[in-house]
Structure 1
Amino acid sequence: MRQKRAKSTIKVLYNGDEQRIERPADIAKEAVDFYEKLLGTTDPQTNGGEVSQIEQLLNFQLTSAQAASLIQPVSEEEIKRALWSMDGNKAPGPDGYSSHFFKTSWHIVGKDFSSAILKFFS
């Protein structure tokens, strides 16, 4: 059991400034800081930040034109634009492929990718 734990321990980490971090407490702090920057934090000045934004959204209603636009057919060009707007460095989806994979292999998989998305919406 001890050997398995030793294998899954991070012993060295390099931060964004290429500085080597070895102390477990510093490694933990660096990891928390990294994900806080990546995911964002709640601003205490805005009374919970995320909660007040959610409350605003709950009171939001679409106009008739906006509602009608949600049921319009999706085009292949719209699918491609949506894919290209995604950051290629984000974690892969449940299929194991990131948006970077689909962008770089679009000439091979683009037609099938678009067909799958169009089938979903139909």
Structure 2
Amino acid sequence: MPSIFAPEKLLYKLIIVLRDGDNVITETSEIASIIVNHFQNLFTTNNVLQDNNLIDNVIPHLVDDQVNSMITSIPSPEEIKKAVFSLNKDSAPGPDGFSGFFYQTYWEIIQKEVCNAVMEFFSTGFLLPNWNANSIVLIPKMQHADTVDQFRQ
């Protein structure tokens, strides 16, 4: 079986072959689909829940209606700026490619758009695409991993 990784010249290694049962998958879109389905199944909760009031009996209510109203109210531009400037400047960039350093350095240029987007979310629930996106890096659990369950995320 060929190596599942692309050439060593890359800064990262691509999964170019994946085994799914007895099938050897080489088509990039099929590999992606298998991986996405695997982790969706792994991280999706069962929607069939029994309400036995255990949560209400065990976990104390810490947020009353007044506090809930306060924390879900539309933040002011000053609160948004404070949140932006509390970001770690040295953190890795998000899926948008920008780190805290970018937002803090160019705040004077981007503040209006950032504030408008944040306030729109609090008033409509609409979140710009990829603002809540994450990247998952698959790390082989063993040398020559060739099935999705042989990777950790």
User: 1:23-66 CA deviation, whole Å, 9 max, x = no partner?
Assistant: xxxxxxxxxxxxxxxxxxxxxxxxxxxxxxxx9xx714212322
Deviates further, 105-114 or 65-74: 65-74
Query: What is the match of residue 112 of structure 2?
Result: 111
Distance in 1 separating the partners of 2:106 and 2:79: 18
- How high is the sequence identity, in percent, across the aligned residues? 32
Query: What is the match of residue 70 of structure 1?
Result: 71
Relative to 1, partners in 2 of residues 1:77 and 1:3: Cα closer, same or farther, differing over 3 Å?
A: closer
Q: Post-superposition, which runs of at least 4 consecutive aligned residues in structure 1 deviate over 2 A?
A: none
Distance in 1 separating the partners of 2:89 and 2:64: 33
Which amino acid letter does the alignment assign opposite residue 96 of structure 1? G
Which amino acid letter does the alignment assign opposite residue 75 of structure 1? S
Relative to 1, partners in 2 of residues 1:88 and 1:63: Cα closer, same or farther, differing over 3 Å?
A: same
Deviation at 1:3, TM superposition (A): 8.7
Give unmatched runs, 5+ long, in structure 2. 12-54, 124-153
Which one has more relative contact order, counting CA pairs under 8 Å at least 6 apart? 2
Distance in 1 separating the partners of 2:6 and 2:79: 51
Query: What is the match of residue 93 of structure 1?
Result: 94
Which amino acid letter does the alignment assign opposite residue 103 of structure 1? Q
Give unmatched runs, 5+ long, in structure 1. 10-54
User: 1:84-115 CA deviation, whole Å, 9 max, x = no partner?
Assistant: 11111111111111111010011111111111
Structure 1 length normalisation: TM-score? 0.51
Distance in 2 separating the partners of 1:120 and 1:3: 40
Relative to 1, partners in 2 of residues 1:100 and 1:73: Cα closer, same or farther, differing over 3 Å?
A: same
1:1-122 equivalences in 2 (<5 Å):
4-5=7-8, 7=9, 59-61=59-61, 62-122=63-123
Deviation at 1:8, TM superposition (A): 5.3
Relative to 1, partners in 2 of residues 1:108 and 1:63: Cα closer, same or farther, differing over 3 Å?
A: same
Relative to 1, partners in 2 of residues 1:63 and 1:100: Cα closer, same or farther, differing over 3 Å?
A: same
